[in-house]
Amino acid sequence: MQQTAPHPDPIRLILPADAPEAALPPATAPVVRLSGTSLGTYWSVAIIAPKGPEPLALRRGIIAILDRVIASMSHWDASSALCRYNAADRGWVDGDADLIKVLSTALSVAADSGGAYDPAIGGLVDEWGFGPPGPVDTPPDAARIAALLSGPRWRDIKVGDGRLWQPGGVRLDFSAIAKGYAVDLVSRYLAERGVVSHLVDIGGELRGWGIKHDATPWWVTLEQAVGRDGQPGGLPTRIALHGWAVATSGDSRRFMAGADGQRLSHSLDPRTGRPVPDDLAAVTVLHADCMMADVLATALTVLGPDHGLDWAAARGIMALFVCRDGAGITETLTPALAALAEEA
């Protein structure tokens, strides 16, 4: 009796269109992997460099870039430019070029999303136990949340010529944008030094450039979201990164348990001062710039699977919404992402 081979489990493949041309690396150029810790997480870089600096020199350059980002916008390092801004009295505060660029982008997304993303929620982040002071035993009460929401917000911040306006009491938090910005800096640094093919990963935010020896791009597999039953769900998804970046905002790893057993996500809604509902498990965004993928994933998480899907579709954003439906998982792709996806 003839046996039929089992059908392989389906997988979603996403291959972005209009990728830039890429040169095939020489067969003699090895794949070198560098890694370390920074920005409160891990970093990992895979490179194919037929010429240019030695790997150890590249590693020193990468570390210097990450140290620069920490010195500019870490809310954990009291000596950073961001922390100095947070501690400043009302008035103009000097800022470095990195801080000004990232804050300008953050304020633009805050305005476009109607405040669904707000870089000025450092106080809320701390009160919920997700900031430098560490975890809290009990969430903030309604009165404390209302007090924080009544203070200055993103609309009150101004960016001038090398300076930032501190309206008094604003505490910036760049957790949803700094890692993506660092990924872009490292990717640009590698390209400028003759690394014809590379994949940069900082805490799960990634950007790829070039192709490998077999002419394939850098494929990355998204981590599957966890349902209320504790089991991963959804269709396994692999994305080809060449000239593209991907970032995910979700509660699978960082959350606190509420009194009713719900996950209290580290993603806070700046409009309500509370964690986003745990119906939405994760949002993944594909974009040419990792900084934008990072911040848009957060904004869409707050906007939610209904309004967020419409908002993203209207702007041509490539996004995947992963929702908890009972004990299982449901997934929705924006039209821009669906046009690139196929099942294999």
Domain with residue 225: its CATH number is 3.10.520.10
User: pLDDT digits over 8-25, tens only?
Assistant: 578 999 988 777 777 778
Indicate whether 85 belongs to any domain: no
Quick check: 155 and 108 in contact, CB under 8 A?
Answer: no
User: pLDDT digits over 51-72, tens only?
Assistant: 767 899 999 999 999 999 999 9
* Whole-number pLDDT of residue 21: 73
Percent of the chain with pLDDT over 90: 70
Pairing of strands 237-241, 12-14: parallel
Q: Tell me the whole-structure pTM to 2 decimals.
A: 0.91
Token pair for 235 = 């269709």
Average pLDDT, the chain: 90
* Whole-number pLDDT of residue 133: 84
User: pLDDT digits over 200-242, tens only?
Assistant: 999 999 999 999 988 889 999 999 888 877 778 888 999 999 9
Indicate whether 321 belongs to any domain: yes
Indicate whether 5 belongs to any domain: no
Indicate whether 192 belongs to any domain: no
Indicate whether 123 belongs to any domain: no
Name the pLDDT band for 264 (thresholds 50, 70, 90).
low
Indicate whether 148 belongs to any domain: no
Indicate whether 115 belongs to any domain: no
Indicate whether 74 belongs to any domain: no
Residue 281 lies in domain: 12-47+204-343
> Domains in the chain: how many in total?
1
* Whole-number pLDDT of residue 312: 98
